[in-house]
Structure 1
């Protein structure tokens, strides 16, 4: 049986390649199960066809949304159906009835945005888990997700009105608050199945009235198991909500109607500091009395990691403390909310436990604080701690337990003792107001001894949470991580009812087996076990080998834990190729998973660096570096790609584009002498483009002529005692020499003693194409040339600045290289320093600036560098095209990348250029960004625009 071929014959997109199977072998849990085939249904009818096929052939079928679940309930050994790629529509929003109807693959933030637009901001969909920017509605229904505001709004199950589902045998049914029916009237098989299921569910409820009433729905975050109490007579035989939280084990959701809640007119955040999380938890009952919308908590380890990884400005000013609560209050007017916030702060102060507190009125500051909380899962997996603590990694596995909020403090105190007894440490954050704690723990899941500790601890933790009247799962579902321990929480009668419910809906047991009913052991199928110990030497410094630990390259690629922030379509910059294609292959996570399979030697045994799967997965990576900053765990795919290409092409013929772009820095200095000829002939030589691997549709850059270069560079300052070195890279010299002159004049006007160097190259084209041996030689010479007594090195080209700041010390381990990298600043970052010193630009600033944020500057020098500088310069209106321009060095020019390059530009840059005011100045510090704007203008995709560098805007001449 060739399942992929059979399913394609039914018109269903199916993929059983080793590349695709590697990507979908993981979710965001500790587990790995390689599927047989992955399918991408477009309609409910196609989902039904897949289910029918699996039913007839006895294949396991697992439905999957964003793959962000930590319980291991989105992976399976048979067919994995990814509903997030095509089934993403919001069908309708009914403001009068306060409902929305949508397909299961719609991302929660997209659903909320559609509701906001359709109701003029009056209503929203309440569940908002921290993964909402990539988690789907179907996933939220499958796990009964909650979110930051569940203290007010409860779980997803509290907002589901009806579900359209496909059964294990391929029939389409609709479950609502009062029963079950065929989705399509006149379908006799579906009508018969609906009646049969209804009879069976009523029997289960009638036979278990007492245990269902006493053991289920005891407090708001009791998610573990099936929600069979919804079938009780007093609950109206609510089949829709009984299916919520069933983790795809009973039926596959193909559509849902959900209720909406009013959106408050005004809100404020109160931030409270505490000595520890136990003290914070003791204040929760008092804080709940103020009817807050959220009471969320984090500990100091997450904050320290955020500051270390993204800079001190990444975390707004917090009150003193080692743990913090974020208390959201809302109301009808700013005055009423401010008064309520003050009352909360006063009451917390009166309790005597807080170490500090403040109301946070600034929206941007609130957003920064909430991002710390929302990135908690990723940040806490690779912690960077201050002092002598060093750094360590932590994992899920017991990250979702919940207890009644009044019991939370005592539970946490005992939980800390339990961690200590097992020699473990934990990073605590979560929904304090709802009693649900997300704890990442320092399990060693790579060794047999560590796995034994993992098993012993999780069982003890299960017993502890049950003693405190809690639930093994508070919103992530039971999955592979917790299902084994459900008998500790529930009586044999309830467990038997769960099993009967599963058998009723799925007699053959093909739907996501192993979750809730008949689970595998919690230590089966762990992703980190079974990885061969190999040295994996690299040209890039990824850290020092540690005895008994995986090689630095293995440790680096295993940093991806499936959080999935790279699968977002808004906010931040990563991952541009995923945003363009919507394909998991082209997400940072997808690439990392294929790299993880490479180091396992699993999907492609013995391939190693020769892996074609990895090569294909990396092909559309733009090396934008945004993942190194946006990814909560700091996955740096640009570095991994460069290393892989370096190793992959050793003693092998490279693509023509690698040779062409790698040689460019050597050829550029001479280009000025033949610029008129090259500029005239290059567009007319398609064969030369083809031989160089350049797409014939891409507009080529115009070389500056010898006179222009001479005029721009002859007067550059050469101060014998400089405090600032202006590094003029080869691309600026060849294409934009006037930028170098403008930058030098700005720095001199700012009081700097400037000297300029124009004969160096950072070797970035060599790095991006993986020619790391040649890049290292060039960088070593450059480091020696730039090494000086404490001078600041200002680089007007952001990509070269990032290469000197980040790639140089990784490739050249010399004192000179480390000194030079520590002194490098982008031009925009240095302008901020000039402003700190009291300098003011000599000319008035424009009223509006449209900025294409350069990805490398975003990653290496701060996500808000350019925006912040422009505001400090007095520009009243700044529009930032937040997203990659699509050119990204050689990527946009290389044959085979054009369509994706243009699609990337359409994400942010092109719309910003189309909607900008006519008088707006277009700012593109990066040469690639300049080329993107020029190309969009030349092709008529956007109105004419002349991109400028910040140095030109500030030039005193």
Structure 2
């Protein structure tokens, strides 16, 4: 046993004594994802702990102090400055200590644990007409503890300022394991027996402030966004010795915050949004002082690179409502009187037009359009990380701030500095507060590139100080800027910061390496030269192949959101970092590095991290940087099991297209057999859960009959690709689709003997998948240029994306370009004026994840709305079955937990006395719906069945619903 192993064993044993029942995770499979946050840095911890109570935190701090092991507190892990990584024990507050303890409506305060996600607090307070003011773009996953650590601000900081302005009291654990409460009057012990220790700490702080009054008054608190360093000015006599505010922004380096009491603000009764276009960001910044005269709640800026990337990744309709220009400002105005707010908006537009810098401007009236526009801005950090041209950019100087009146001059100088170093920066941020985020195409792999980065950062620090600004305006200093504080502050101020930390943390164990005694900004960088890996997928969008693809994850953590979009269903079901898209990507990055995960493709830790990935592909669309975990998982499984025995379900479910074709010749007797004890035995032998009914197989004649009945005799304008699922289980869908296409003026012929290879891809049998795909492409790329319509969304997505990326041929790309889902075909190809038969007023819709991810702007929801369905109640999220995943014995419980998130509640809400139609094009989705609600007579229709001109219209309660 090595010394390190022995020391870790001793620490975990001591943790078990001081914090009984505490969950402690060690080893690369558990700690790998926690080596990263959203910054450029990688610092592997020794262990990760998941406290459930303050007593757990006290036990951890005391055990680590005894062992001399550092402690780093972590919330959502979205820090861009390296504040949330550390070499010792990482405390993950987000997993269990995430409760809202109290909301006092009359006092307008809330008491919350450190791991509460901001959106959870806002949802709870919204019921009372209240809100928490600071709103970072990461509001769907950042925690209050993290916001307190960084003194976060957000999009509406023009109105609401920084987190420090909203903190009433902090409940902390000191470096020696003492519980105390810091508020606007000082520090108070929770346990009176520890009163002497707390009193001595407070006395030392007052002595420190008294010795540095002039220094603190002249160097701190100069501009609203001055977050860099420690906020000692809150301890000045004239500020009432507000220790709570002084501890905000200390990045966990002085005390561990376990809970906080925060102030709430009233929700505005009326608001409007203006979008303003400019030639560049400097011109936009020139108008900020004039805009501030109109008391906006938000003034946000961004340049054209972010918008172009959004449109390329999510479709041209993903960004609408922007006027002409190459840079834009969002200006939000709020108030209690809608008429007054709109009058102010009109007056602002008139004033800005008189200034002469606008290229266009408009008031955005539609709430849906506003939400879409804000999403572009909120995804800025991720979108800027991997641009439409494939270029990568990185944080490091993403948080500088100046007074708003100095912003244009600062940006002018900053752009010159970028040009001088031959660097490109993507700019966005809180222009109304003078805070600009920028991601820069640093080369952090080579020594020469790192030298350029270091020189640039030093000169950028001097530039912002020259303009009276601060290195950090909300993200904190962390590892990215701590070393540069000496450019901004005097040596005496740096010494005062060190003394402040010394009072709280004399042994330097709390989040070492930030602010005081900072690690060099070039140390612990995550980027390194990547090995070229021999893979089956081509990864055409990533210069370094698989290694470059998994490097797409930069840690912004959008996959950790509980709502909005579809990603990441397994994280939403389990709440575990390792089950998030980010956690899996970080494990793959560790595998590529080969340091903590040393067995490469054979790694069981990586296999286990990928195990609960449903291969839904939602991350390829929802993730701002386009991580495609389904493809990475398929590649890993292929390499991991190469030359080895596979899980039984890879054979029973992965080979389903072939076996189902054979079963079709004797479907009736085999269906009867599968419904009995033999079926359960076969399921167990095949690794398939016995908690689901095996769907009944269709006979070969059923498909022939369905297609024969749909023939119209008209010249075919489209090719209907009858996939394996439709052929084997619901041939009636093929017949309905044929009739719908004919009715829409785009009659088809059917191709019913080909396969897209999807099941072999999802189980990582890529060599077989390529052979099957090559046969399919050879048949389809025969000079026929007709559109290919695929009724099964997952198979359509496989033909659209997996086939060209696996085969990499021009023929595959030609076939992919012709592929449409039924929704897409009816949207893009139907004759003008086509109207379907009468449709129901209300539809419950389950959109297939692959359709959501791959065919942006061509969703059933949009088509149904255009065709006259008045209410489409969409279950936004994965159904949980996800092809083979939900049929696999070990995944059944997770499958059902995912269904509980969105689909099951929609089905449960169906009133038995009210006609309801449920639409689900995916075979998996329809099967899950039958499993959840079939006993209540609820059946999912395919869109083709709903639109079938020859079908009886559903209308009676419980029928066809």
CA distance in structure 2 between the aligned counterparts of 1:715 and 1:668, rounded to whole angstroms: 23
Give yes or no for contact 2:824–2:858 (8 Å, CA) kept in 1: no
Secondary structure of the residue aligned to 2:696 is coil
**1:496 CA drift (Å):** 1.3
Q: Which residue of 2 aligns with 1:731?
A: 725
**Of 547, 562, 574, the match for 1:569:** 562
CA distance in structure 2 between the aligned counterparts of 1:11 and 1:731, rounded to whole angstroms: 47
Q: Which residue of 1 aligns with 2:953?
A: none
CA distance in structure 2 between the aligned counterparts of 1:403 and 1:254, rounded to whole angstroms: 32
CA distance in structure 2 between the aligned counterparts of 1:313 and 1:328, rounded to whole angstroms: 22
Q: Residues 41, 937 of structure 1: CA spacing in aligned structure 2 closer, same or farther, 3 A cutoff? A: same
Please show how residues 25-424 of structure 1 align to structure 2 within 5 Å: 25-117=35-127, 119=128, 122-184=129-191, 186=192, 188-189=193-194, 191-384=195-388, 390-424=389-423
Please show how residues 419-498 of structure 1 align to structure 2 within 5 Å: 419-498=418-497
Q: Which residue of 2 aligns with 1:11?
A: 21
**1:807 CA drift (Å):** 0.5
**Of 749, 756, 760, the match for 2:750:** 756
Does structure 1 residue 866 correspond to structure 2 residue 860?
yes
**1:829 CA drift (Å):** 1.6
CA distance in structure 2 between the aligned counterparts of 1:803 and 1:719, rounded to whole angstroms: 30
**1:745 CA drift (Å):** 0.6
**1:162 CA drift (Å):** 0.5
Please show how residues 679-828 of structure 1 align to structure 2 within 5 Å: 679-683=671-675, 684-685=677-678, 686-706=680-700, 708-717=702-711, 722-787=716-781, 788-828=783-823
Q: Residues 22, 581 of structure 1: CA spacing in aligned structure 2 closer, same or farther, 3 A cutoff? A: same
Give yes or no for contact 1:886–1:905 (8 Å, CA) kept in 2: yes
Give yes or no for contact 1:319–1:355 (8 Å, CA) kept in 2: yes
**1:34 CA drift (Å):** 0.5
CA distance in structure 2 between the aligned counterparts of 1:208 and 1:112, rounded to whole angstroms: 39
**Of 649, 654, 668, the match for 2:646:** 654
**1:753 CA drift (Å):** 3.1
Give yes or no for contact 2:930–2:939 (8 Å, CA) kept in 1: yes
**1:706 CA drift (Å):** 4.9
CA distance in structure 2 between the aligned counterparts of 1:225 and 1:30, rounded to whole angstroms: 20
Q: Which moved more, 1:255-264 or 1:781-790?
A: 781-790
Secondary structure of the residue aligned to 1:24 is helix
Give yes or no for contact 2:137–2:154 (8 Å, CA) kept in 1: yes
Secondary structure of the residue aligned to 2:772 is helix
Give yes or no for contact 1:297–1:431 (8 Å, CA) kept in 2: yes
**1:347 CA drift (Å):** 1.2
**1:834 CA drift (Å):** 4.8
Q: Residues 461, 19 of structure 1: CA spacing in aligned structure 2 closer, same or farther, 3 A cutoff? A: same
CA RMSD of aligned residues (A): 1.4
Q: Which residue of 2 aligns with 1:598?
A: 591
Give yes or no for contact 1:716–1:756 (8 Å, CA) kept in 2: no
Give yes or no for contact 2:275–2:321 (8 Å, CA) kept in 1: no
Give yes or no for contact 2:390–2:541 (8 Å, CA) kept in 1: no
CA distance in structure 1 between the aligned counterparts of 2:117 and 2:945, rounded to whole angstroms: 41
CA distance in structure 2 between the aligned counterparts of 1:431 and 1:177, rounded to whole angstroms: 28
Q: Which moved more, 1:326-335 or 1:231-240?
A: 326-335
Secondary structure of the residue aligned to 2:657 is helix
Q: Which residue of 2 aligns with 1:22?
A: 32
Give yes or no for contact 1:144–1:475 (8 Å, CA) kept in 2: yes
Q: Which moved more, 1:36-45 or 1:660-669?
A: 660-669
TM norm structure 1 = 0.96
Give yes or no for contact 1:4–1:16 (8 Å, CA) kept in 2: no
Give yes or no for contact 2:28–2:605 (8 Å, CA) kept in 1: yes
CA distance in structure 1 between the aligned counterparts of 2:860 and 2:580, rounded to whole angstroms: 26
**Of 564, 588, 596, the match for 2:581:** 588
CA distance in structure 1 between the aligned counterparts of 2:700 and 2:749, rounded to whole angstroms: 22
CA distance in structure 2 between the aligned counterparts of 1:150 and 1:218, rounded to whole angstroms: 17
**1:608 CA drift (Å):** 1.6
Q: Which moved more, 1:621-630 or 1:810-819?
A: 810-819
Q: Which residue of 1 aligns with 2:536?
A: 539
CA distance in structure 2 between the aligned counterparts of 1:724 and 1:627, rounded to whole angstroms: 31
**1:718 CA drift (Å):** 8.5
1:850-904 CA-partner distances (Å, limit 9, x unpaired) = 1112100000002671211111011111111011000000000012101111100
Q: Which residue of 2 aligns with 1:923?
A: 919
CA distance in structure 1 between the aligned counterparts of 2:710 and 2:62, rounded to whole angstroms: 73
Give yes or no for contact 1:717–1:756 (8 Å, CA) kept in 2: no
Secondary structure of the residue aligned to 2:519 is coil
**1:333 CA drift (Å):** 3.0
TM norm structure 2 = 0.96
Secondary structure of the residue aligned to 1:358 is strand
CA distance in structure 2 between the aligned counterparts of 1:208 and 1:813, rounded to whole angstroms: 67
**1:944 CA drift (Å):** 4.1
**1:716 CA drift (Å):** 4.3
Q: Which moved more, 1:430-439 or 1:488-497?
A: 488-497
Give yes or no for contact 1:719–1:755 (8 Å, CA) kept in 2: no
CA distance in structure 1 between the aligned counterparts of 2:699 and 2:932, rounded to whole angstroms: 24
Give yes or no for contact 2:280–2:303 (8 Å, CA) kept in 1: yes
**1:615 CA drift (Å):** 0.7
Give yes or no for contact 2:168–2:244 (8 Å, CA) kept in 1: yes
Q: Residues 544, 72 of structure 1: CA spacing in aligned structure 2 closer, same or farther, 3 A cutoff? A: closer
CA distance in structure 2 between the aligned counterparts of 1:226 and 1:19, rounded to whole angstroms: 35
Give yes or no for contact 1:720–1:755 (8 Å, CA) kept in 2: no
Instruction: Give the aligned length.
Output: 935
Q: Which residue of 1 aligns with 2:931?
A: 935
Secondary structure of the residue aligned to 2:35 is coil
**1:672 CA drift (Å):** 2.9
CA distance in structure 2 between the aligned counterparts of 1:835 and 1:813, rounded to whole angstroms: 31
**Of 609, 622, 626, the match for 1:617:** 609
Q: Which runs of 5+ in 1 are unaligned?
A: 385-389
**1:4 CA drift (Å):** 3.0
Q: Which residue of 1 aligns with 2:656?
A: 664
